[in-house]
Structure 1
Amino acid sequence: MFLMGTLLAASAVTAVVAIVVVLIMLNHPPLPPARLCALIALALFSSAVAVYCYGWFSVTLGGPFPELCESGNDDGARLMVIKQEYWPLRSACLYSDGSTVEHVSMPINAFVCLLAASALFSTCASVYLRKRNRRSSGVTS
């Protein structure tokens, strides 16, 4: 739990610092596009890690649902166990009659995937721009 808390804090701070640096870069041209894309990728990836850690804590500490599992279901079956999975982030209530009630934190999962995919795209764009810049500077020299 300490490791996830540390990771949450570090990724949140990294995301904020990367966003501030991007904003500073936008206000002071000339703007190197490869570095800008790399910083955007860092901000997006750090945000994805922070959101995932938040979701992890949410699942570990009982989920974003006020009453995660009731002691019995509508048919009178007793709660046997609460099963937690960390990817995708979800909690499942397993009852004695074999029924299961799942609580899936879909917005968190979708947001993490969106941020990670955007970070990957931005990283690829940064690599492409850097290679293109090196190729064009090598031809003119």
Structure 2
Amino acid sequence: MLRRTALALATSAAALLGAVPLAAQAHAGPGGPVPPPIGAPGLGAGPGLGAEQDRLTVTVRDAGAGDGRFVLRCRPTGGDHPDVAGACGRLAELAAEGEDPFAPVPPDAMCTMQHGGPATARVEGTWRGRAVDASFSRTDGCRIARWNRLVPVLPATGS
């Protein structure tokens, strides 16, 4: 009985730290296995948690020095994007603000008639557990603002 209590306490303490091997959980006692903590690695417990990865392919054209096709990985960071840390940081900021950085301009938006240059971009992949396929341009004030909100995921342009 004392051994079972000690094992259950040790397993519970380890579970709180997120370090319980499955073999130890299987022997947690009469109550069954101790579930791992919410958000433990590999559980896909929600946005920003679990084993999911953000993997985006960013293709930029006619933006000047920022042209090209880049892979951006966040959670964990990596890829050949020119500013992996800055881009992942910006996406994390927008997520924390509850914004969808890939949402299109609403069809009924009132946009200023200005032209921000010929730059276009497409972002495809997975972000926060959902598929992304978004196109960007700088053809009016709304689309320029949408582009600028994603810098440095998209390159800053001179316009």
Relative to its length, the structure with more strand (as a share) is 2
Question: Do the two structures share a fold, i.e. TM-score over 0.5?
Answer: no
The structure with higher relative contact order (CA 8 Å, sep 6+) is 1
- The bucket for the TM-score relative to the shorter chain is under 0.3
TM-score normalized by structure 1? 0.25
- TM superposition score normalised by structure 2: 0.23
